[in-house]
Amino acid sequence: MLAPIAGFFDSPYRRIARRHGAGLVVTELVSAEGIVRMNRKTAELLRFHPEERPVAIQVFGNRPDLMAEAAAIVEGLGPDFIDVNMGCPARRICNSGSGAALLLDPVMMHDIAAAMVRRVKLPVTAKIRIGWDDERRWYRDGVRALEDAGVAAIFVHGRTRAQQYAGRADWDAIAEIAAMARVPVVGNGDIRSRAEALERMASSGCPAVMIGRGAIGNPWIFSGRVPAFAEVVAQIKEHLDVMLDFYGDRGIVLMRKHIVRYIHAFRGAKHVRRDLVMSEDRAEIHRILDALVESHPDLQRDESVEAPPVEEGEE
């Protein structure tokens, strides 16, 4: 499955991931308050394409009544299920008692999930971390609370809030949750290839796993195929077109961070990076890419190149 990544996994990329074999996709987190007010920005975050199905809309918030209200509105948009964010480590989100802050309050986890489950017919799921910090890894209480509330599945990122994205995801804790839970548990954290995904599923007992950062600029992670450079270029062009369709002219600028990550592991493409991200013209981007394929038809991906970091704190 494709994990939600705010700022990267929007409707255009989720369609691409599905086509490459992601079994299910989730929107980035959307504020319950924003949903109730429904301004333009929120409406854009909530849009999805039929090709994304099965797709979940992810909601965050701190009040059961408001979360239930948001769930009812979201249900009207016709996603396949509704997910609650209980893992975002960003201070802005946690300070209001939303996201990972809920991991400190299993009763509130229950009350929010239960209010949503009662209000809608669609399945409600939750995405959690394993705790707030090392001293407060309260995942057992949290998982029981969510089950009692009637959630259909639980997505588990195997880090605490204090870890943010540092250290390693604790797959032993994920396996423990998979063994104790009465609902399906989807493991998440640090998966960087299809082979690793299959290994994690086998060793943790999770029926599915989610891939986040490993899928940025690399939708092939879902099939395990290693694309030739020409194929990467074709995918960039197609992605750009879907972005332009979805966002209008803004699509070019929003595509830059994706282009950088599609090509980062191809060392021989480094010299055109600047030109590509400076360009504001679809035809020019095509020309640069086509010239690169022509001059370097056998460019190889170098797996040892570190991916550029993504902005932190957006989860």
Ligand X SMILES: Cc1cc2nc3c(=O)[nH]c(=O)nc-3n(C[C@H](O)[C@H](O)[C@H](O)COP(=O)(O)O)c2cc1C
Closer CB to ligand X, 165 or 247, in the complex: 165
Closer CB to ligand X, 210 or 288, in the complex: 210
- The CA distance from 238 to 197, in Å, is 26
Closer CB to ligand X, 29 or 174, in the complex: 29
Least Å distance, CB 266 to ligand X, is 22
Per-residue x/- mask for ligand X, residues 199 to 238, rule CB under 6 A? ------------xxxx------------------------
Find all residues with CB under 8 Å of 197, minimum gap 6, and list them: 191, 209, 211, 221
- Residue selected from 12, 131, 189, 217 as contacting ligand X according to rule CB under 6 A: 189
H-type alpha helices, 194-272:
194-204, 229-247, 250-263
- The CA distance from 193 to 66, in Å, is 38
- Residue selected from 15, 110, 127, 161 as contacting ligand X according to rule CB under 6 A: 127
- The CA distance from 57 to 47, in Å, is 9
Give the C-alpha distances (Å, rounded to integers) separating 62 from 4, 59, 92, 284: 19, 10, 12, 46
Q: In the structure encoding, which two tokens stand for residue 269, read together?
A: 């493409």
Note if 88 is an active site residue: yes
Q: Catalytic residue, from 25, 88, 173, 243: name it.
A: 88
- Residue selected from 1, 6, 113, 232 as contacting ligand X according to rule CB under 6 A: 6
- Longest CA span, the chain: 61
Closer CB to ligand X, 106 or 214, in the complex: 214
Per CB under 6 A, 33 contacts ligand X: no
Residues 159-188 that bind ligand X (CB under 6 A): 165, 188
**What does the CA dihedral 282, 283, 287, 290 come to, rounded to 10 degrees?**
70
Per CB under 6 A, 56 contacts ligand X: no
Per-residue x/- mask for ligand X, residues 12 to 31, rule CB under 6 A? ----------------xx--
Q: Which segment (82-90, 170-178, 251-259, 293-301) binds ligand X by CB under 6 A?
A: 82-90
Least Å distance, CB 225 to ligand X, is 19
- Residue selected from 15, 20, 63, 157 as contacting ligand X according to rule CB under 6 A: 157
- The CA distance from 222 to 92, in Å, is 32
Q: Which segment (255-263, 268-276, 284-292, 307-315) binds ligand X by CB under 6 A?
A: 307-315
3-class secondary-structure state, position 31? strand
CB 155 within 8 A of CB 143: no
Find all residues with CB under 8 Å of 289, minimum gap 6, and list them: 233, 236, 237, 272, 276
Closer CB to ligand X, 81 or 229, in the complex: 81
Find all residues with CB under 8 Å of 146, minimum gap 6, and list them: 109, 110, 113, 126, 128, 154, 183
Question: Which residue ranges make up the site for ligand X (CB under 6 A)?
Answer: 3-7, 28-29, 58, 85, 87-88, 127, 157, 165, 188-191, 211-214, 310-311, 314-315
**Catalytic residue ranges:** 88
